[in-house]
Structure 1
């Protein structure tokens, strides 16, 4: 097995039966199934969803993005070995815990392969909610520059970098550009206040005002569950992003669910507990890769300054990262996934062919 072949870098060219264009993001690609195949799978597999629900195959890749760019390594290594399987394994673990503890379901209906989810179409709540237990990153930079109010919440004076906050802080932002909502900037990822979410709940795609309270409860309960579980392996859950949406169950009832990914090294900061108590921050998340990039290039402002995006894209395109950096990132992702799940992350000999074989033999979804 060559290392490059064990990496799934391109995930939007699988021969999956679909009538729609493949939607490909920085890491995942989504293949919407035909209505016929969606209905067939719901019936055959007994999924607890409304029979008319559209289903999709979601395929993760091993690509790694940071600072809005996708990065690559030497020797044709266009991703990080084991990263995709590690991300999915961590999300699967937390989604399962949430369901077992009675919090809420997720959009995932089936897991045919470590790289693949079968998901149900959800109506997304147009909010990305960041839950924070420590002051670090962009929040610390704003605080150090004199800001004290974050999403309508006032922080006390005298906090220091990487300090634990007095309580978990929820800092929501817009998911996409929302128009015509008072006090809400018409921009993607604009900070919003809880009072404005409550006042205009329907504009954010909530079905009722009471669901705003449910969303806040699921946010805090989900964060606390992951935080307590990570404490058992001496890891600190620093902050994370949550997304929510609505689906219909087999009885046609709407329910609010967790969606996207949860508690992963891509969507969260996770610190090593032993090192933190010594006064050091050791990242077990993508933040470590970002720091590697900032330290690697002579002019880190290119990575931080959004007015220099053409230079940034050129930097990512023209710089193959050394193999040791890619493998260091691989060890971070696989290491934290194995600690969380208690299961080994195996590298596939040929992940793309494995996916095709399983989706063909067990689901009849290959052209």
Structure 2
């Protein structure tokens, strides 16, 4: 079996019973279950959700995206071996820790396979919340050009690249295109201020004003839980993205939960602690892959300039990356997953066949 066979690159073609179109994102695909299957599983498995809650099967892939494009390698390698299992294992670990420490639940109800989550339908809060503990990346690039206000927060002069910030910063942006909000452009992923959220909280899908305080508390507490745990492994938690939503439990109570993924190399920057103390930044997340791409191609502006999206898409489509590049990414993801969970990551020789077998035999979701 070739290396390419172990990679789950296409995850929207599984024969899972559904009466809705499969929604496929950059990395995950979502299969909404029929009303009958949702109700049956809630009853059989005892999930703490309303009896008529819609459920979905969420299948991760090994695809790798960067700069809004999907990249591939030589020898038919259309993803990164171990990446999907690593992302799920890391998220599962942090979500469990959040729950155990009394922060909040997540959208995950069950984990049938390392690539698969059974999730409940949540009403998403339309904010991508970035927490920053160090000044780097896009924030540093703006700061170096003289910008001192970020999402309504004033930053002091005299900071240096990759320096720890005086306090944890929350720099939110819109999730999707939101219209009719004064002062907020109707484009995806635009920075917003706390005042924008407070003054227009229903437009961001918050149920009540008090939930903004709760969302900020869950952000900071979630960040601290992960940062503390990584520090014990001598890893630096630099910044990360959180997403939230609302669900209703079996008692009919609405609650704010964590959703999407948390603390992964895809959604966060993580640095090696020992190297950072020596003044060297060694990326333990997808940021290393992004930097490699910027150095790999002669005109990095194509990757950074949103006006050159057509050229960028062609670059990703027409250039197979060296196998060694994707294997370096594989090592980064597997290493950090094993560090975080304290367990070896088991890689499947044929993940798709395993998923089909489990969902058929144990969940009755495949005819």
Q: Classify the TM-score, shorter chain.
A: over 0.9
Name the structure 2 match of 1:197.
Answer: 197
Counterpart secondary structure, 2:321: coil
Answer yes or no: is 1:281 the counterpart of 2:266.
Answer: no
Q: Provide, for residues 313-334 of structure 1, a one-character-per-residue CA deviation record: whole Å limited to 9, x for no partner.
A: 1111111111111110000000
Q: Does 1:157 align with 2:157?
A: yes
Shift of 1:347: 1.7
- What secondary structure does 1:5 align onto? helix
Instruction: Point out where structure 1 has 5 or more consecutive residues left out of the alignment.
Output: none
After TM superposition, the structure 1 = structure 2 runs for residues 1-367 of structure 1, keeping only pairs within 5 Å, are: 1-367=1-367
Cα distance in structure 1, aligned partners of 2:3 and 2:347: 9
Per-residue CA deviation, residues 179-229 of structure 1 (Å, 9 max, x unaligned), is 111222211111111112112111111111111100000000000110000
State the distance in 1 between where 2:310 and 2:200 align: 37
Whole-Å separation in 2 of the counterparts to 1:70 and 1:343: 29
How far has the Cα of 1:352 moved from its partner?
0.2
**Matched residues in 2 for 1:102 and 1:307: separation?**
44
Q: Distance in 1 between the 2:207 and 2:305 partners?
A: 38
Instruction: Name stretches of at least 5 consecutive residues in structure 2 with no aligned partner.
Output: none
Give the secondary-structure state (helix, strand or coil) at the position aligned to 1:220.
helix
Cα deviation, residue 47, structure 1: 0.2
SS of structure 1 residue aligned to 2:65: strand
Q: CA deviation at 1:63?
A: 0.4
Whole-angstrom distance in 2 between the partners of 1:196 and 1:324: 45
Secondary structure (helix, strand or coil) at the match of 1:98 reads helix
Task: Summarize deviations over 1:305-350 as a string: whole Å, max 9, x none.
Answer: 1111111111111111111111100000000010000111122110
Secondary structure in 2 matching 1:72: strand
Offset of residue 299 of structure 1: 1.1
Runs of 4+ with >4 A deviation: none
How far did 1:2 drift? 2.0
CA distance in 2, matches of 1:188, 1:74: 33
**Counterpart-to-counterpart distance in 1, 2:234 and 2:309:** 38
Report the TM-score when normalising by structure 2: 0.99
The TM-score normalised by the length of structure 1 is 0.99
Q: Which digits, 9 at most, give the CA deviation of each residue in 1:126-164, with x for residues without a partner?
A: 111000000000000001111101111100010010000
CA distance in 2 between counterparts of 1:126 and 1:305 reads: 25
Q: Which moved more, 1:317-326 or 1:357-366?
A: 317-326
| Alignment length (residue pairs) | 367
Q: Deviations over 1:25-65 (max 9, x none)?
A: 11000000000000000000000000111000000000001
Mapped partners of 1:297, 1:274: distance in 2:
30
